[in-house]
Amino acid sequence: MGASDTAVSVRGLVKGYGSFTAVDGIDFDIERGETFALLGPNGAGKSTTVEILEGYRDRTAGEVSVLGEDPHHGRLEWKARLGIVLQQTGESGNVTVREQLRHFAGFYPNPRDVDEVIAAVGLTEKADTRIRALSGGQRRRVDVALGVIGRPELLFLDEPTTGFDPEARRQFWELIRSLAKEGTTILLTTHYLDEAAQLSDRAAVIARGRVIDMGPVDRLGPPDARVPIVRWRDASGAHEERTTEPGTLVARLAAAGEPEDLEVIRPSLEDIYLDLVEKAEADDAERSADDAADSGAGRAHRHHHGPEETRS
């Protein structure tokens, strides 16, 4: 693929805050038109990465290109091609939803229709309500509306549906799908793994500032991550078996009579994600323990030589 097919390119990105390394050398590309999710536990470095891409934060090292420009030098015309929904809810304004959106629409060369956007985020009934009189979830919808009003080529969504009720979340998914269908490139961070599975083409899982896995959302995790689990109970107790042929196993069980509490479970993206993060954290703990043991051995070594040194 040529460079023009790539909306975002990140190589060896590092961000340190003092002696703490929040982003520790990450690489990924997002193709134009793709919806890409950044997943990871609290403090993994997702927002830091996104803020660097948006041009809000400087990086310590690495190469970054967003819509063909280095965000560090991003000019106003470049900014107008981005849509940004930050993690924090915006200011609770004294203006109405429609006034606020009209105001922001005026900043962009080719904005969307204000009332269409208001409808798309489900705020038609609140269009003439002052923003400060909205509920938390409704204000969050205003944030999303402000992020898409400028018809962005690239939309950053940092935990966009936090505080949404289930119906609003589904409605939001529809909006995002329609934007993706129109060709908008989307970078999403979310702690809702079902949201990531529903919306994204590919995802990167980040833990402690490093990418621990990346790929199409239906292929994340080790090769056997999606092998179904069959659970049932019989006179000898509860059983669980992982098999690529659950139908065959269920048929065999059923031949001996209806199995009690029968379930066939396919691990969800959330199950797979939790395994990945847990394993990465265990590997890290092991590495630190090894490092500690090495420096312990180093100390023992020096002690051993101590008396000889005094003798010489």
Ligand X SMILES: Nc1ncnc2c1ncn2[C@@H]1O[C@H](COP(=O)(O)OP(=O)(O)OP(=O)(O)O)[C@@H](O)[C@H]1O
Contact positions vs ligand X (CB under 6 A) = 17, 20, 22, 40, 42-48
Instruction: Please identify, using beta-carbon distances, which residue of 34 and 158 lies nearer to ligand X.
Output: 158
Report the 10 Å Cβ neighbour count for 291.
10
Q: Is the dihedral of CA 288, 27, 89, 57 positive or negative?
A: positive
Q: With 0-12 CB in 10 A as exposed, 13-18 as middle and 19+ as buried, what is 224? A: exposed
- At its nearest, how many Å lie between ligand X and the CB of residue 40? 5
User: Which among 101, 109, 115, 114 is positioned nearest to 152, based on CA atoms?
Assistant: 109
Residue 209 or 221 having the CB closest to ligand X = 209
How far apart are CB 152 and ligand X at their closest, in Å? Answer: 21
Nearer to ligand X, 42 or 310 (CB): 42
Smallest separation, CB 61 to ligand X (Å): 16
Closest CA to 218 of 202, 195, 199, 230: 202
Query: Which structure tokens are listed for 229?
Result: 């689990």
CA pair distance 306, 312, nearest whole angstrom: 10
Q: How far is the CB of 15 from ligand X (least distance, A)?
A: 8
Q: Are 8 and 29 in contact (CB under 8 A)?
A: yes
Residue closer to ligand X by CB (options 47, 200) is 47
Q: How far is the CB of 116 from ligand X (least distance, A)?
A: 31
Q: How many CB atoms lie within 10 A of CB 192?
A: 18
Residue with smaller CB distance to ligand X, 22 or 214: 22
- As measured in angstroms, the least distance from the Cβ of 269 to ligand X is 17
Q: Which is nearer to ligand X, 16 or 228 (CB)?
A: 16
Q: d(Cα 41, Cα 96) in Å, to the nearest integer?
A: 36
The token pair at 148 is: 């898409």
